[in-house]
């Protein structure tokens, strides 16, 4: 199977004044051509760090990638030169950030900010052509071309995020990294923006990595889901396997229990008790063990290996003795 993006055994840490923080600890992920992968997890699970590392956008020199490979069409982005990465950024992999309020440059007109992507990556286009495409892009995301000359402060939050989307789509990238694109927006605007993204994804045929802590968003938008916890992927599977399948990782179970929803046939609200572990200490056993209702002695001492059944992968000792779950 040809993966568009494959992340292998990624380890990332931050050095801070308070000591080293281990943000990502051995993440394995893959995104196929044209599919949407949902990356879910609580705040601090390492979702954003993972996404930023793909485009080498981690804050320097605090963050360091200690181990791993990030293969984009079989080319290791971590080993790529700055020049190569720059050519990929915005052109073949684009990214949308969490907070549209601060992600746009307040000093420049929005049209120019969208056009900049084309000016960087489509140098062969003439001035007219770039302006025309920019105007069309703005219209595609539902902003009239007459607002070309507006500054960000003249737009609402939802419209700013649309501008970000227009910017991301400018060069029709093969992969779109969307880091909580709707978290900062009102609920009604959230739905609009997500619908727009779904629609555009189909139209442009690109793959998407949708990062969110909102399982409802994942259920509606993603074909596959990866559940991230304390810098590790605890479970990966199709949306059906995760939401409607018979077996799940205990953490996923807890997450699903945390949303009261009649569709999911879970009658009792059972939020995950406890807090995420201190990221400055690496646990010897399963990262979720301290909060897990099924925690045993083995969970605290031994790191569980990832086991799979078909495409469904789970990292949990509960599945160690089951024959159909292979290492």
Partner 1 sequence: MLRYGGKRLLALIPVILGITFVIFAVLNYTPGDPARLLLGFNATEESVEALRREWKLDDPFFVRYVRYLGGVIQGDLGISWRYGVPVAKELAVRIPNTLRLAAISVLIMILIGIPMGLISAVKQYSLLDHLMLFAALLLTSLPTFWLALMMMIKFSLELRWLPASMPVYGAVTWKHWVLPVFMCAANLTASLVRTARSHMLEVIRSDFVRTARAKGATEFRVIAYHALRNVMMPVVTLVGINFNLLMGGTVITEQVFGVSGVGSLLISSVRTKDVPMAMGCILFIAVMIGLVNLAVDYFYVLVTPRLRSRYEKKKRKEAGA
Partner 2 sequence: MKRGRPFRKRGRWQAVWRRFCRNRLAVAGLVLLLFLIGAAVFAPAIADYERVIHQDSANRLIAPCAAYPFGTDAYGRDLFARVIWGSRYSLSLGIGSVLAAMLAGAVIGSAAGFYGGRTDSMIMRLIDMIMAIPGTLLAITIAAALGTGVGNLMIAMSISQIPTFARVVRSVVWTIASEDYVEAAKTYGSKTARLITRQIWPNALGPLIVQASLSMAQAVLTISSLSFIGLGIPAPSPEWGTILAENKSYMRMYGYLCTIPGFAILLSVIALNLIGDGLRDALDPKLSGPVR
Q: Which residues of this protein are in contact with partner 1, per CB under 8 A?
A: 55, 57, 59, 61, 82, 86-91, 94-95, 97, 99, 102-108, 116-117, 120-121, 151, 153-154, 164, 167
* 43 lines the binding site for partner 2 (CB under 8 A): no
Partner in contact with 107, chosen from partner 2, partner 1, none, beta carbon below 5 to 8 Å by kind:
partner 1
The answer to whether 59 contacts partner 2 (rule: CB under 8 A) is yes
Residue 48 makes contact with partner 2 by CB under 8 A: yes
**Total residues at interface with partner 2 (CB under 8 A):** 10
Part of the chain binding partner 2 (CB under 8 A), chosen from 10-18, 167-175, 223-231, 247-255: 10-18
CB 111 within 8 A of CB 130: no
Rounded least distance, CB 39 to partner 2, Å? 16
- If the CB atoms of residues 14 and 319 are measured against partner 2, the closer one turns out to be 14
From CA 197, how far away is CA 168, in angstroms rounded?
11
Residue number, 96 or 234, with CB nearest to partner 1: 96
The verdict on 322 binding partner 2 (CB under 8 A) reads no
Name the β-bridge partners of 175. 93, 207
Q: Which long-range contacts (CB under 8 A, 24 or more apart) does 191-197 make?
A: 192/158, 193/158, 193/161, 193/162, 193/165, 194/220, 194/221, 196/141, 196/142, 196/162, 196/165, 197/165, 197/221
| Distance in angstroms (rounded) separating the CA atoms of residues 157 and 182 | 10
Q: Which does 151 bind (CB under 5 to 8 A by kind): partner 1, partner 2, none?
A: partner 1
203: part of which helix (H) or strand (E)?
helix 187-204
Q: Is 105 an interacting residue with respect to partner 2 (CB under 8 A)? A: no
Please state, in angstroms and rounded to a whole number, the distance separating the CA atoms of residues 252 and 107: 43
CB neighbour list of residue 250: distance below 8 Å, 6 or more residues apart:
288, 292, 293, 294, 316, 318
Taking CB under 8 A as the binding criterion, the range among 57-65, 72-80, 81-89, 223-231 that sits at the site for partner 2 is 57-65
319 is an interface residue for partner 2 by CB under 8 A? no
Binding site for partner 2 (CB under 8 A): 14-18, 48-49, 59, 62-63
């Amino acid at each position: 199977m040809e993966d568009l993006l494959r992340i292998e055994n990624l380890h990332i840490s931050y050095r801070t004044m308070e000591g080293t923080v281990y943000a990502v600890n051995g993440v394995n992920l893959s995104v196929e051509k044209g599919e949407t992968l949902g990356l879910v997890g609580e705040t601090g699970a390492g979702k954003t760090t993972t996404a930023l590392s793909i485009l080498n956008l981690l804050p320097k020199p605090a963050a360091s990638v200690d181990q791993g490979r990030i293969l984009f069409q079989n080319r290791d982005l971590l080993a790529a030169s700055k020049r190569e990465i720059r050519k990929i950024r915005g052109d073949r992999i684009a990214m949308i950030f969490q907070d549209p309020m601060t992600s746009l440059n307040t000093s420049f007109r929005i049209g120019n900010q969208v056009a900049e992507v084309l000016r960087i990556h489509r140098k062969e286009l003439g001035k007219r052509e770039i302006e025309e495409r920019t105007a069309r892009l703005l219209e595609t995301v539902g902003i009239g071309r007459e607002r070309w000359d507006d500054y960000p402060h003249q737009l609402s939050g939802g419209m700013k995020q649309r501008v970000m989307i227009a910017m991301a789509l400018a060069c029709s990238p093969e992969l779109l990294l969307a880091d909580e694109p709707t978290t900062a927006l009102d609920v009604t605007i959230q739905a609009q923006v997500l619908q727009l993204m779904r629609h555009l994804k189909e139209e442009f045929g690109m793959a998407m990595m949708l990062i969110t802590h909102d399982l409802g968003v994942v259920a509606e938008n993603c074909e596959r889901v990866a559940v991230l916890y304390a810098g590790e992927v605890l479970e990966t599977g199709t949306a059906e396997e995760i939401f409607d399948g018979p077996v799940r990782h205990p953490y996923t179970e807890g997450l699903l229990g945390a949303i009261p929803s009649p569709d999911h046939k879970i009658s009792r609200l059972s939020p995950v008790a406890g807090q995420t572990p201190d990221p400055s200490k690496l646990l010897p056993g399963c990262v979720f063990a301290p909060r897990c209702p099924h925690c045993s002695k083995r969970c605290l001492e031994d790191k569980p290996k990832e086991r799979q059944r078909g495409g469904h992968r789970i990292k949990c000792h509960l599945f160690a003795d089951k024959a159909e779950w292979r290492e």
